[in-house]
Amino acid sequence: MRELVAEPGLGLTPLDDAELDVPLRGAHSIEIADAARWLRPGSVMLTTGLRLATAGPDDPGWDALAESLAGARVAALLFGTGVVFDEVPPGLRRAARSHGIPLVAVAPEVPFVRIEEAVTRGVLAGESYLLRRTVWLQDDLLGALVSTDPTGTLMVRLGALARGAAALFDASGRAVSATGAAPFRLIADEITHAGPAFTVGRWEVRHRPLRIGPSDYDLVIASRDPRVLDDLGDDLLRTAARVLAAANSVRMLTADQERLEAGRLLSALLAGLPPSRVRQTWERLRAFGFRPGEALRMIRWDAPEPSRPGHSHRSADAVEDPPRLLVLEDPDPGVPGISATALIADDRPGARWLDTAAATGAAGASGPFTDLTACPERAEEAGTAHRLARRRGGPVRLDEIDYATWLSATRDGDPRATDRFERQFGELARSPDLVATAVTYLACDQDVRAAGRRLVVHPNTVRYRLRKVEALLGARIGAAATVANLYLAFHEEIERARAPAATDR
């Protein structure tokens, strides 16, 4: 209204300290009864007072008119002088003051149509500005989608537009991503019981709850200039919420595509890669963060894939580097116990990922390698390590176990090995005391006295039982071949007994 009054040539004079800082949505010239019925909120009414031409200063019609306009939330009443009344009637001025209706006199020479056109131009310009501003905000914030860190980039842009700070809080009140110097901890405490707008110290805050995927969040902007939030706050929060939803959709689509491509690539590696395609395959692996020629490991495990720490959100807490890996779920249903196979970089993030995988199930890893044509053989190594992990627990890296352990693992599931064990060691295996004596004797590095202490028997009892073992095997217990055969046949039992045996000597 203030801009309309200031426009040259309209002949407008505010009366009685009229409030002019009110937005206008339209202007209508009306000379009929019940005028407020035809006016929408925010519009101005233009009249010459024709309907009340005979009304005196105390006529109740003036008050009824002002009251109805106030009820309709009309922005102002513009009264044309020099047509019916030479000046604005005092009864109307008194009623307008009473009901808080801004009253403006229109000069006799100014036709109402000119004022209507001016208001229309201003309204259209205002709506055009709002439209341009919305498009500009959307364009600026949507630019975050092309960033490698969409959420962090969005918070930086949001904080800059708010001339302050911005943050995304999760349901626990943790700042998942934040930028600016606002007191985020205090803001997080207020969000749970405050409305959409509140104040923390010198900071004006606006927030909007939203859901991204299965999780709930709060989007927050804060500024020390309340005018910025009054003007842009709702638009900023609404547009940023849409950008976050779009970023989540893009992230999910990208993750699905990457998972599918990773499975295809790993399937090709497991099927066997000819030397002519090694260079091309390294280039395909580069898209997943691998560096040509770096050391790799093949992994097999039987639990859900552990979560991968990454940089999807920026926060004050340090974020671990994500592992670089390809995953193929259920690659070989014929191999019992294995639910997935992975190719992973042999580095610290990869080691952390393997430890996490082993926390919920058996996980086995091949030795490190760089030759992509060796992937099928390395996958078999990982399967052997997986069998050991199922018996021993924890992650098993095949390059960290000894030859005997590896040899015993490779025989698992081989019926010929089972039949051979039965023929050579079956009778001994059915004598628990003799097995315990032989195992303890070898775990104590063939020290009869140490074995006796472990078994809580006299050393002569140990010697007696060992002679019975010799009789069953038909070989001397001290012979290298006999020791080797017993060690391989009862390897796991000997290794379990070895650690306490060392403390007994």
pLDDT per residue as tens digits for the range 282-315: 999 998 899 999 999 999 888 666 655 443 333 3
Three-state SS for 221? strand
Neighbours of 367 (CB within 10 A): 17
Strand (E) or helix (H) holding 452: helix 448-455
Query: What's the confidence (pLDDT) of residue 145?
Result: 67
Burial of residue 9 (number of CB atoms within 10 Å: 0-12, 13-18, 19+):
exposed
Burial of residue 377 (number of CB atoms within 10 Å: 0-12, 13-18, 19+):
middle
Q: Rounded to whole angstroms, how far apart are CA atoms 494 and 109?
A: 114
pLDDT per residue as tens digits for the range 90-111: 999 999 999 999 999 999 999 9
**Over the chain (505 residues), what is each successive 10-residue block's mean pLDDT?**
85 89 88 90 93 92 94 94 94 94 93 89 59 60 71 86 89 88 91 87 92 85 87 84 79 71 90 93 92 93 62 41 83 59 92 86 90 93 85 82 67 65 84 92 92 92 92 89 84 77 46
For residue 42, give both structure tokens: 């925010």
Query: What's the confidence (pLDDT) of residue 437?
Result: 93
For residue 283, give both structure tokens: 């280039």
Query: What's the confidence (pLDDT) of residue 75?
Result: 92
